[in-house]
Amino acid sequence: MLEITRIRADKDAVIEGLKTRMIDATEVVNNIVATDESWRAKKSELDSIAAEMNKISKEIGMLFKEGKRDEADAAKAKTATLKENEKNLKAEVDALENELQELLYQVPNVPQSIVPAGKSEEDNVTVEEIGTPVQFNFDALPHWELADKFGLIDFETGVKVTGAGFPIYKGKGAKLQRALINFFLMEADKAGYEEFIPPHVVNEASGYGTGQLPDKEGQMYHVGVDDLYLIPTAEVPLTNIYRDVILPNEDFSIKMTGYTPCFRREAGSYGKDVRGLNRLHQFDKVEIVRIEHPNNSEKALVEMVDHIKGLLEKLGLHYRVLRLCGGDLGFTSAITYDFEVYSAAQGRWLEVSSVSCFETFQANRLKLRFKGEDKKTQLCHTLNGSALALPRIVAALLENHQTEDGIMIPEALRPFTGFDKID
């Protein structure tokens, strides 16, 4: 959530910045400013009444001591009137505060200056491309056919047990999945990330804290009886560990990682691009999360991007890095880099990771702060990235490392799989 102080200070800059997302936020920002002004005016009145009541309360005591009962009773009557006014004014202040909060929830993060303007993924910018497409001298198969041929994934039984988008991994397919999780966690550990095993469901406050709620698109699975939500990513529980926390000083750099299943309704997903593992309702992912001093978040973002690049290179995959345009940015992100691997068998790019910096947007919702040298509290910066999401990585590994008689396992994975080939 954008800081109200930022909007107060320069609403025109906020409106202009949001144009990068192809959004005209003039009306909502003006409503925020007007509501904030009304709230502050009413709050000032409320504070004045409280101060006057406190002053009269002291006077009443003195009047009674001086034997001026009639004057004391008149002052008490005035206090009763003030209390009624205070009650009514408090209701107005609370209503305006709630209205202001709801308006602020409608405004996405302002993109950084280097984010290109654009409407959709067509306007994203390729930062770099590493490797070259695999060339086959035989008819390469897509991963869903390879999975069926070698008995790795059972899509049909997953539909029977649960529904579309919930595959069952088995045999070497299950072992490959587990090997990737362990490999990603081990690499995160080497990079200094502390491992957590968080809950797989969160409460409403956690959803609001990281910006998944209000859930306008209905992408989260809601457990209605308990009013809990299945997590769409480990980012949610990991970042919320620090909700309502004030770090004691400026000397911090918090690095967390965690493996979790992820649950996304993916409402409206259909067609050939969602076949097989391309888009699922449940999938596994290792996430990296950082909480940083504002002065260090740019450096942290570069380090996270480099970490993802290292994983893809160790897996021997041809990939590219994209800087997302404003229209393709997530609601909470100030800047995002997407990683895509090329599927030679499908002839298309598959997104496998997003690395984002949210600046103070999440921290403002979370009330995640630190104390500066002057002992005043400031908002932290938060970042997160997929390191990595498994379904399309598995798809890319099967498709790009296939041979005429099997699928070769990248050398970096072999200590974790216990085998070097699927045949």
Q: Is 384 annotated as a binding residue?
A: yes
Looking at per-residue pLDDT, the higher value among 391 and 54 belongs to 391
CA atoms of 252 and 375, how far apart (whole Å) = 15
Q: Is 265 annotated as a binding residue?
A: yes
Q: Is 204 annotated as a binding residue?
A: no
Instruction: Give 361-371 pLDDT, tens digit per residue.
Output: 999 999 999 99
Mean pLDDT confidence for 349-355:
96
Show the CA angle centred on residue 293, arms to residues 288 and 299, nearest 5°: 60
Provide the 8-state DSSP code for 109: P
Q: Is 351 annotated as a binding residue?
A: yes
Looking at per-residue pLDDT, the higher value among 328 and 71 belongs to 328
Tokens at 57, concatenated = 């309360």
Statement: residue 419 has pLDDT above 70: yes
Instruction: Give 261-272 pLDDT, tens digit per residue.
Output: 999 987 655 555
Tokens at 120, concatenated = 């959709």
| pLDDT-derived band at 340, boundaries 50, 70, 90 | very high
Looking at per-residue pLDDT, the higher value among 336 and 62 belongs to 336
CB 383 within 8 A of CB 358: yes
Identify the CA nearest to 46 among candidates 114, 10, 95. 95
Percentage with pLDDT > 70 across the chain:
98
Statement: residue 82 has pLDDT above 90: no
Residue 309's H or E segment, with its range, is: helix 297-314
Instruction: Give 234-287 pLDDT, tens digit per residue.
Output: 999 999 999 999 999 999 999 999 999 999 987 655 555 678 999 899 999 999
Calculate the CA 75 to chain-centre distance.
55
pLDDT for the residue 52? 86
Q: Strands 194-196 and 253-263: what pairing? A: parallel
Residue 382's H or E segment, with its range, is: strand 381-389
Instruction: Give 368-414 pLDDT, tens digit per residue.
Output: 999 998 889 999 999 999 999 999 999 999 999 999 999 999 999 99
Q: Is 264 annotated as a binding residue?
A: yes
CB 203 within 8 A of CB 227: yes
Looking at per-residue pLDDT, the higher value among 287 and 84 belongs to 287
Q: Is 353 annotated as a binding residue?
A: yes
Q: Is 257 annotated as a binding residue?
A: no
Instruction: Give 88-110 pLDDT, tens digit per residue.
Output: 999 999 999 999 999 999 999 99
pLDDT for the residue 302? 98
Phi, psi of 390 (to 5 degrees): -80, -40
CB 289 within 8 A of CB 384: yes
CB 87 within 8 A of CB 49: no
Mean pLDDT, the chain, whole residue set: 94
| pLDDT-derived band at 74, boundaries 50, 70, 90 | confident
Show the CA angle centred on residue 350, arms to residues 289 and 292, nearest 5°: 15
Identify the CA nearest to 175 among candidates 400, 397, 387. 397
Tokens at 181, concatenated = 């999780």
Show the CA angle centred on residue 187, arms to residues 186 and 190, nearest 5°: 90
Looking at per-residue pLDDT, the higher value among 31 and 61 belongs to 31
pLDDT for the residue 79? 81
**Which stretch of 67-76, 273-282, 290-299 has the lowest confidence by average pLDDT?**
67-76
pLDDT for the residue 270? 52
Identify the CA nearest to 422 among candidates 155, 141, 158, 138. 141
The full set of domains in the chain, from first to last, is: 4-105 (1.10.287.40), 121-422 (3.30.930.10)
Instruction: Give 151-187 pLDDT, tens digit per residue.
Output: 999 999 999 999 999 999 999 999 999 999 999 999 9
pLDDT for the residue 269? 52
Give the 3-state secondary structure of residue 292.
strand
Mean pLDDT confidence for 227-238:
97
Indicate yes or no: pTM above 0.85. Answer: yes
Identify the CA nearest to 297 among candidates 339, 258, 335, 244. 335
The amino acid sitting at 270 is Y
pLDDT for the residue 12? 97
Give the 3-state secondary structure of residue 293.
coil
